Amino acid sequence: MNQTFSSITNMPPNSLRAVMANPDVPIKVKTEKIYEASKGVMKEFFENNTSEKILETSEEVMEMMEECMTTAEAGFHGISEITSKDYYTYTHSVNVGLYCMTFGVKSKMSKGDTRQLSLGGMLHDVGKSKIDHALINKDGKLTDEEFLKMQAHAAEGGQILSGMHCFASNVVRMAS
């Protein structure tokens, strides 16, 4: 694992993997640890203006979540218990990725398709990093002009991900 990943999770580089591999650790604990790591990845991304290294880390986090999901009977109810705590933009991104992964796993999609679907879900709003935070967090209805600015996040997201040249076109399309 890279330096960025370990600093986000506040764990030594192999500790999270060790927790995931330990059969004595309850599935709820594993899922919560991965969820916190996922939120850390997205929080770091949104707060530090689109670091490619951070986005590349998201694939590693999703891989561990997928391992956790496929070895347990975690379904939409289990995921909803974890995701209901808060709903900031970065948390929303992780939540969408988890729901996409749950759908892929439960629908028996191939491992590759499930990973692309969950990554696309997790990264679907990366373009919001280019939108003014005050607009994203505005209470009440957006004006027509604000709505147009907000819509621009999709095109921005597609440009960010396609410019990295490391995500499949399906993932990029989910952010576009």
Q: Catalytic residue numbers?
A: 128
Contacts of 122 by beta carbon, 8 Å cutoff, 6+ apart: 38, 42, 58, 62, 93, 94, 96, 97, 98, 100
How many angstroms separate the CA atoms of 129 and 107, rounded? 32
Token output for 13:
């580089």
